Chain A
C-alpha cells in the first residue's frame, strides 16, 4: 500500500501505540480485569442463590441492570448516528473521529445486552427465545433489532478498517507474528486496486445509510418495552423518539470524552483539534436543546393532566424527599449545563466541553434510572407491604459490582482494540489533506 506523506505522518505518530503494550497499559488491563473478576463473582452469587441477592423484588422487578442496558445501547449511537450521518453528509472533519465513534458503537452494543441478560431469572433457558419466539413481544423485537444492529455496526467498522489492515500488513511493523498474520487475514487481500476501492466505497456508503434507521429502530423498540405497558411514566407516545434522542445525545457526550482521553494520552492535538470539540459541542448543544424540549413536554403533560396514577410518579420525581434531587440534577447537568457551556464563547473550550459531557452522560444514566424505578414503585393497587425492600428499590453491591464490571469491560475492550488498530484511521486521508486536516469542515469529498 502506497501512503502519501500525510498518511505517513499520521501513521508514524500512532505506530508505537499498536506496536507496544506498555507497562501502563498492562496496569490498566489488570485493573479492569480485577473489576470484571469481582463482577464475575457477583454473577456467580446471583446465579447460585437466585435474584434474591439483587435489590429487585416483586414490585420493582427491574433496576440498575435495565438502566445500564439503556445506557450502553444509548452511547452506542456515537458511531451509528454521528459517524453514519457525518459520512452521508461528507463532512470532512469527521475523518479523525469516526473510528473512535464506531469502536464505541460496537463495544457498547456488545455490553448493553449483557445487562438485560442479568435481569433474566433463568439464563439456562435463553435458547427458548429462539425455540419459542413470540413476535408480539417487544422483547422479541429487541432481540431481532439488537442482533441486526450489532451485525451492521461490526460490518460498518470493519469496512472502514480493511484499508488500514492492508496498511498495517505492508508496513513491516515490529510486532509478533500472529498479529502480523491476523492483519494479513483481516485485510482480505486488499491492494488498493480501483475496483477494490470502489467496492469498499459503495459498501461503506450503503452501511452508513442502513445503520441510521437500524439505530433508530433499536432504541425505539427498547423504549417500547416500557411504552407498551399500561404503566404511568412509561405508557407515553413520545417514548420512542425521546429515547432515540437521548441515545444520540449521550453517544455524543461519550465520543467527546473518548476524544479528549485519546488526545491527552497520545498527544494527538494536531489530529483531534480544538475545532473537533467545538463542532461536536455544537451537535451536543442542539441535541441537548431537543432533549430538554422532549423532557419538558413529557413531564408537563403528565403533571398538567394529573391523572391519579400518573400523578403518583410525578410526585415522586418532583418531591425532594423522593427523587426530586436526582430529577433536578438530570435536568441541570443533563440539559442546562451542556447547552450553556457550548453556547457561551468563553467556556467553549475542549476541557470544559469534556467536563460538561461527563456530567451530561452521568445525568442521562441517572435519568434512565428515574424512568424505570419510580414507575415500578408506583403500583395501581396500594402496595400494603411491610417488607421495606418490596416497597422501595435500592441496588445491592451485586448489582453495583456488575455495573462496574460492565464499565470495566467497556474500557478493557477499548484498550485492546486501540492496541490493535490505529485510533485515527490512516487510509481515510486522501492527497488533498496535506495541511491540517480536520479543520476544514464542509469540504466535499471527491
Chain B
C-alpha cells in the first residue's frame, strides 16, 4: 500500500521510540519533541530550542534532534470525554460545489492511518426520486445532538461531549456493534481484522480524540478531528477539498470556515436554505447541507474519471435512473 509507505518514514518511528526515553515533557514543546537517542547519527544544525523537562528545568536542545509529530494534542481520557468548554462544533456541506473529487476521503484516511477500504467519510451519489437530478453527497458522522448510537451503548464507550462531538473510546468498546445497528446513517465501521498500520502508530498512546491506533474488534467512525481543533487547525477533509465544500466551525462563535473563507454560520444556513439530512428522524445532526442548487460542476464530472472499481458503485444511479 502506497499510503502506508509514506507514513512509514523513519523519523516518526524514531520519535516514538525515543520520546519515552528522553522524557521531555510534550506539554512544553507543543507539537515538537526530542529525538536524542536516534539510531542514525543526526548532525546538529546549531539552532537551539528551549524545552521544559519533566523535572521542571529548562533545557536547550539542537533543533535537529526534534521532529515534528502529528497527533500530539493528546489529552487525558477525562478531558477527551468532556470536550472543549464553550465550543459547539458544526459543519456545513455545500452540495452545489461537490464533484466527487474524493480528496476529502483520502485525506481522512491518511490522517487517521486507515486503509482505502475504510471510509469514515464517504461520498454517495444521491437521487431522491425518479425524475430528480442526481447529486454528490459527502457524509461524515453527523455528531447528532440526539444520538441513537450513544443511547444504546452498554458500556459508555461512545459518548456525547459538551462541544457537540460524539466520540468513541476504543479501549472501552466491547464490540457489540449495537451502535452500528442503531445509527440510521451507517456511519460507523468495525475493525473486522487486526488493523494494519505502521509500527510507530500502533505504539502511539491512544486517545478518543485521535482515534489512533485502531483496534481489532472495536467500532470507529469520523470524529471531526478534535485533536486538530485543539491546535487551531481545520479537519483534513475540509483542508483537502479543492472546491471548498466543507465549512467547519463553532456554532457558539457563529463562524465556519472552509479554509478559503470564513463566514457567519447563521448567515450561511439562512442565505442558502440549509437543511439537515432526514430531519424527521429526530436525531438532530450537527451537519447542515446546502442544497445542490446552481451547481458548479455537472454531476458527471465526479463519475467519468473514476477508476472502474469506484465507478461500479455509482453505475446504477448514473446509467439507470433511480434505484
Contacts and interface: CB of A to CB of B under 8 A. Distances in A.
B166 interface: no
A50 interface: yes
A134 B217 CA distance: 20
Contact of A384 (B124, B148, B155, B178): B124
Given A121-B174, A229-B152, A380 B218 contact: no
B133 interface: no
B155 A129 contact: yes
Interface size class of B (residues with CB under 8 A): 35 or more
A231 B182 CA distance: 7
A126 interface: yes
A12 interface: no
A430 B208 CA distance: 66
A131 B154 CA distance: 11
Interface string B156-185: 110000000000000011111110111011
A394 interface: no
Chain A contact surface mostly: loop
Interface stretch (A137-145, A178-186, A202-210): A137-145
A122 interface: yes
A61 B314 contact: no
B172 A52 contact: no
Contact of B312 (A50, A121, A383, A386): A386
A129 B193 contact: no
A49 B193 contact: yes
A51 interface: yes
Interface in A101-146: 119-122, 125-126, 128-129, 131-134, 136-140, 143
Contact of B216 (A121, A136, A228, A230): A121
Interface in A50-65: 50-52, 56-59, 61-62
Contacts of A139: 152, 154, 176, 178
Contact of B186 (A56, A131, A143, A380): A380
B218 A121 contact: yes
A442 B124 CA distance: 65
Contacts of B151: 136-137, 228
A128 B314 CA distance: 41
Contacts of A143: 154
Interface in A270-297: none
Nearest to A387: B117
B186 A138 contact: no
A139 B174 CA distance: 12
Interface in A179-223: none
A430 to B, nearest CB: 48
16 contacts: A50-B192, A121-B217, A128-B172, A134-B155, A137-B153, A139-B176, A139-B178, A225-B178, A229-B184, A231-B184, A380-B186, A381-B124, A381-B185, A382-B323, A384-B125, A386-B312
Nearest 3 CB-CB pairings of A with B:
A121-B175, A121-B217, A139-B154
Interface of A: 49-52, 56-59, 61-62, 119-122, 125-126, 128-129, 131-134, 136-140, 143, 225, 228-231, 376, 379-387
